[in-house]
Structure 1
Amino acid sequence: MTENECEKLHLTQDLCWPGGRRIAVVFNLAYEMWSPGVTSGVGPMGNMLADGLFDPNADSYGRYNATHGIPRLVSILERHDIPATLMTSGLVAEAFPERLRAYAERGHDIVGHGMAQNMVFPTLSTQDALHSVTRTTELIEAAIGQRPAGWISPRVTSSTEIQEILLAQGYAWHADVLDGDHPYVQQFREGNILAIPMSVEFNDLPHAMRFGRTPGQFVDLVKEALAGIQAQPPETIILDIFAHGHCYGRPAAAWAIDEIAKICRNDKSIWLTTRSEISTHLARLGECAA
């Protein structure tokens, strides 16, 4: 292997989740902030100001995420006794450490998500990328009292170079891959890290902002998919539900996450889980030993 290359070790094909279940559902809440002077790339007006002008409308829209949207979404999942995967910006951990610690103490999975949502890895120098990983990790650890086990990059976008940095920082898993249904082990020269692929069908941001669909259609999309999957020959999969605090964290849309949570909670064939729990489950099976 050359530098930053890795080999993939695929897991057994007869994988099952606890209790013999086949469908794992993960609720991913994007707990995000942007660097000072940078705004969310989307806004309610639909037309960002041109020529790089600072857009106070988009800035205010994005700030809603950490202050109002995520607390509402977390409370919804807690009503259904569902653990949230909180994809957490380092800036969030720095600004709201006590709240983040409370979420961790209540059993939610606090996941590294980069220093700021605008810091997408392909746009960063190697040094800035390293700083994003190390500083985010430090801030989350300071807030919750332990290092996060997992990482999901802004835009779910990284490279084997970044993934090797995550390995060096002690991460057990990352989800910056879309190339499979089952987790697999990435083998680097210095050790192994578990890659747990994301599914992309249920994401509030493109659903609302790109396609202009309603919260009701979001619920229907999940209901129809579950019915269709369960009518097929059984296979073991992970389904991801994404909600951003500044998008579906608002009252007019958050009810859709409540409805989806209710549907999933009432279906006993579904394992409501987090990627850290998936990583632990595989380790118990001896599937991803270092």
Structure 2
Amino acid sequence: MLPPPPLPTHGRYDYAAWRGRTPYAWPNGGKLAVYLGVNLEHFAFGEGLGAELAPGGPQPDVLNFAWRDYGNRVGAWRLLETLDELNLPATLLLNSAMYDYAPDLVAAHRARGDEMAGHGRTNSERQSVLPEAEEARLIADSTAAILAAEGTAPRGWLSPWIAESRTTPDLLAEAGYRYTMNWCADDAPVWMRTRGAPLLAMPYPQEVNDIPAIVGRKDGGDAFAAMILDDFHERLRQVRDGLPQVMGIALHPYIIGQPHRMRHLRRALSEIAQHRDQVWITTAGAIFDHVANLPPGIVPGDPRVEE
């Protein structure tokens, strides 16, 4: 009997067990890096994709469109106040449509020095269903808008709906991106292969994320805050093994910016901020910079070793 054919594989990285990796530290000497991924998103009216507060009816779906728009008009500003109050940096996962729709909001984050990362043109579309040339155009459009407004091109990318085609990592590397947040397969950064330059897979949460927690599982704001703190304190315990971890917290202002949820989020972030002497509260881009400058062979998939 012939053996079964091998399972299809993506070929982007090899298996690397957590146990046995080489330890390293973050810039402050700690082992836990924490970043906030704030999603600023704009949606088409009367068409396209979008999270739903309630089952959508025929278009135009005013209920769900207006609920999402609340985030840009109100919720994001309340979140900004909390970030300022606690002196917390953020990585903005930015739909480029926000530059035309809510320029004041983007400018407020720019004034704080927050990192701008690419997040497509709008979350009303998925790049995974596009032909390669059209997907490349989507990435180029989003990148060009950020470059024109900020003066520097984004280095990190999160696809709308975390949707990838088979060539997305290749297209991102060819467009000049250095890290992707699409692959949530690890608690520390790992290098990925592309048909061009290597791409760093930056841990991005699919659990400590208000969309799957609150929209998907219907958790309350208190349960989401408890999830954040349980994740944080368990990681502080785990990093005693010497291996560094990255903890991301994914936030969407139309969800977490509702007053009854903001109260719980503020409590959770306040507690994390009190541990600045133990953890590195930073941005995804700063994590990339540190990892990219580690000695060869420290991070799984290091292209300098594979050459």
TM over 0.5: yes
Query: Which of the numbers 75, 91, 95 marks the counterpart of 2:97?
Result: 91
Do residues 227 (structure 1) and 233 (structure 2) align? Answer: yes
Matches of 2:246 and 2:87, distance apart in 1: 19
Deviations 1:258-281 (A, max 9, x none): 112211110121211111000111
Residues 21-30 or 154-163, more deviating: 154-163
Which amino acid letter does the alignment assign opposite residue 266 of structure 1? Q
Higher-Rg member (1/2): 2
Matches of 2:283 and 2:139, distance apart in 1: 21
Matches of 1:275 and 1:9, distance apart in 2: 23
Matches of 2:150 and 2:14, distance apart in 1: 32
Asked whether the 8 Å contact 1:100–1:144 carries over to 2, the reply is no
- Equivalence for 1:70: 76
- Give how far 1:282 is off: 1.4
Considering fraction of residues, name the structure with more strand.
1
Residues 192-201 or 267-276, more deviating: 192-201
Number of matched residues? 284
The 5 Å alignment of 1:93-242 reads 93-232=99-238, 233-234=240-241, 235-242=243-250
TM-score after normalising by structure 2? 0.83
- Give how far 1:224 is off: 2.4
- Equivalence for 1:28: 37
Asked whether the 8 Å contact 1:101–1:143 carries over to 2, the reply is no
Structure 1 stretches lacking a partner, 5+ long: none
Matches of 2:33 and 2:11, distance apart in 1: 30
Residues 161-170 or 196-205, more deviating: 196-205
- Equivalence for 1:276: 285
Matches of 1:137 and 1:69, distance apart in 2: 25
Asked whether the 8 Å contact 1:112–1:137 carries over to 2, the reply is yes
TM-score after normalising by structure 1? 0.88
What SS does structure 1 have at the residue aligned with 2:188? coil
CA RMSD across the alignment: 2.5
- Give how far 1:8 is off: 5.6
What SS does structure 2 have at the residue aligned with 1:247? helix
Change (3 A) 1:36 1:64: same
Deviations 1:137-195 (A, max 9, x none): 11111222221111111122324511111111111111110222221222334222222
Structure 2 stretches lacking a partner, 5+ long: 1-9, 297-301
What SS does structure 1 have at the residue aligned with 2:231? helix
Do residues 59 (structure 1) and 65 (structure 2) align? Answer: yes
Identity of aligned residues (%): 22
Change (3 A) 1:210 1:127: same
Matches of 1:98 and 1:206, distance apart in 2: 28
